[in-house]
Each structure stands twice: as C-alpha cells, then as structure tokens.
C-alpha cells in the first residue's frame, strides 16, 4: 500500500512538473502578440474606437502620449478589467484592429527586421551597412 501511495504521489508530481515547464514566447511583430506597439513610420492604424479610452483620471498637470495596443478580443470592450495587465489604466489608449495588426503591421515589421533594416523599437528603421538595406559583416 505504501508503494502504491508513493508511486501515485511520484506520478502526480511528475505530471505537474511537466505541465508547468511548458512555455511559449511571442514577441511584437508576430501574430498572436498582444501588447503595446509603436506606430512610428507605419501606415495609420485602423482603430477599434475612434477616440482614445481612459479608465482612470489622469492627475492634474500630467500629460501622457496615447498608447497603441493590440489586445485580444474582449479586452478593449471590458478595458477596466484588463488595463492593469498593460500598465495603461490612467493612459489614453487606442486599440488597433486585429486585421490591421496582422495584415499591415506584422509584414512590415518582419520586412525591416529580417533583412532590409533594423528596427529600433520605436517604429523607425535604419539601413544595415551600405547599399540597399543588405546586411554587411
């Protein structure tokens, strides 16, 4: 009986360890990424709402630049429940449409990241080396 309990506990612990070791990393410029994006030199985004959304009042004298966010379906609709995950409760937020993110932002981001230029994290790009954006070592 003790062996059975020990084996059951051992199997339960192993299953739990396997379940918690699984991880997925998705970064900006990939389909499935949710979070802040920098518009920079991108074409104007297609927005979910025409006006920025602000959940908490902004302190007097503080001016925040609007943030552009790509969020999962339902987060924009129930923003007061989700704004804390994005550190954006007191900030004006524009939500970009999923289709614009996937069809405009992602391809252009990849184009510059994967060979034509280097993304500096602010939506701006610079050429790598000389020539027409080809990488030179």
Higher pLDDT, residue 1 or 75: 75
Residue 91 has pLDDT above 80, yes or no: yes
Q: Is the pTM of this model over 0.85?
A: no
Tens-digit pLDDT profile for residues 95-110 = 999 999 999 999 999 8
Note whether residue 4 is domain-resident: no
Domain of residue 85 covers 23-126
Note whether residue 5 is domain-resident: no
Count of structural domains, the chain: 1
Burial status of residue 4 (CB atoms within 10 A of its CB: 0-12, 13-18, 19 or more): exposed
Note whether residue 136 is domain-resident: no
Higher pLDDT, residue 20 or 109: 109
Confidence of residue 23 (pLDDT cuts 50, 70, 90): low
């Amino acid at each position: 009986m003790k062996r059975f309990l020990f084996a059951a506990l051992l199997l339960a612990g192993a299953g739990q360890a396997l379940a918690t070791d699984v991880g997925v990393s998705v970064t900006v410029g990939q389909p499935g990424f949710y979070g802040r994006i920098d518009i920079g030199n991108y074409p104007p985004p297609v927005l979910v709402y025409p006006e920025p959304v602000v959940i908490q009042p902004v302190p007097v004298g503080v001016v925040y630049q609007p943030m552009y966010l790509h969020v999962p379906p339902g987060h924009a609709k129930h923003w007061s429940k989700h704004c804390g995950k994005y550190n954006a409760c007191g900030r004006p937020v524009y939500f970009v449409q999923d289709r614009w993110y996937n069809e405009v932002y992602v391809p252009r981001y990849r184009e510059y990241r994967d060979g034509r230029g280097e993304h500096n994290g602010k939506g701006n790009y610079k050429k790598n080396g000389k020539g027409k954006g080809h990488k030179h070592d």
